[in-house]
Amino acid sequence: MNKLLTSLCLALAALGSLSAQAAAWPDKPVTIVVPFPPGGSTDTLARAIAPKLQEQLGQTFIVDNKAGATGTIGAGQVKRAAPDGYTLLLSSLGPFVIAPHLIKGMPYDALKDFDLLTVAVQAPNVLVVPAASPLKTVADVIAAAKKEPGKMTLASSGNGSSDHLTAELFWLQTGTSGTHVPYKGGAPAIQDLLGGQVDASFQNVNAVLQHINAGKLRAIAVTGDKRSAVLPNVPTLVESGVKGVDVYSWQAVAAPKGLPADVKGKLHAALVAALNDAQVKHKLAEIGIEVVANTPEQFAAFQQAEYARWKNVIETRKITAD
């Protein structure tokens, strides 16, 4: 009996200690790991919400760029961190649902090693061509691809990126083919697209909006399930007769597995408030990014669906990371 009472007392003491830790969180700076270089969409989002999280929770939020291996180096670092709420991962879809199907010897299990917090934002991709291109509609693109199979070049920010996989899905759904031209990042891909060195690309809408508005690129169609608010005159692929290519690029926040429930709840509430801050929301909306800010449960269901979808595309199209 004495042993039982001792065990119960120890268990209650441990629970009390955890509760006290959660109540005190955060009592030191929190690191947001962005597994990509500075300047990209994910980094921009992290730097937009960090000050708002600081306002909400009264502690400094530091953005730490840990780029490499299509985002898996930074994600692996977060997986190995203590699950205490002081290390977070803010990443695009790649490390969550694409890289696991492309990279051997992954440093984490994307479905098991993280406490998912929220899908923060999403934005459709947009099929763009240089302003001087004769291609003006999706029908033109399909006709050209069918007339000379494999000739049309589509640029992407790299093998396995959302823009690459959107192109592969487009070819799959339309029965066409082309030549994928991978670059080391979105900026050089867009630069060659502007210069006419490549024929087309499925780019994140926020990455090319300024060039579309300046008349340097022509927007053919968006990949969302509805028209983009910043490109209201550009049809969706579905409107243009192509089904099954509803694609969004998205960014989400996660933590190492084992986050205390109280900390998780407090953190999720702060993230939702930061993302829905009028200033942040307006800044994102101006470049075509839509705030999602869903629940951990919704994120988990969404990840499962996206994981299966991209696994199928990668296997069907025999895509590799090389």
Residue 127 pairs with which residues in a beta bridge? Answer: 202, 221
What are the tens digits of pLDDT across the range 70-91?
899 999 999 999 999 999 999 9
Q: Distances in Å between the alpha carbon of 105 and those of 69, 96, 100? A: 11, 15, 9
What are the tens digits of pLDDT across the range 28-52?
999 999 998 888 889 999 999 999 9
Residue span(s) of the chain under CATH 3.40.190.10 come to 124-222
The answer to whether the CB of 52 falls within 8 A of the CB of 274 is: yes
Give the pLDDT confidence score for residue 164 in this predicted structure: 93
Whole-number Å distance between alpha carbons of 120 and 293: 5
Whole-number Å distance between alpha carbons of 238 and 221: 9
Give the pLDDT confidence score for residue 177 in this predicted structure: 96
Give the pLDDT confidence score for residue 2 in this predicted structure: 58
Give the pLDDT confidence score for residue 270 in this predicted structure: 98
3-state helix, strand, coil in the chain (%, to 5): 45, 20, 35
Among 66-70, 289-293, 301-305, the least confident range: 66-70
Average pLDDT over residues 232-253: 97
Alpha carbon 225 to its chain's center: 17
Whole-number Å distance between alpha carbons of 123 and 225: 11
Q: Map tokens 């089904």 to a residue.
A: 243
Average pLDDT over residues 257-271: 98
Quickly count: other Cβ atoms within 10 Å of residue 299's Cβ: 24
Give the pLDDT confidence score for residue 158 in this predicted structure: 85
Q: Is the pTM of this model over 0.85?
A: yes
CATH placement of domain 124-222 = 3.40.190.10
Superfamily designation of domain 27-122+249-316: Bordetella uptake gene, domain 1 (3.40.190.150)
Calculate ∠ Cα 139-142-146, nearest 5°.
140
Among 17-31, 91-105, 140-154, 198-212, the least confident range: 17-31
Residue span(s) of the chain under CATH 3.40.190.150 come to 27-122+249-316
Rg from Cα positions in the chain: 22
Give the pLDDT confidence score for residue 199 in this predicted structure: 98
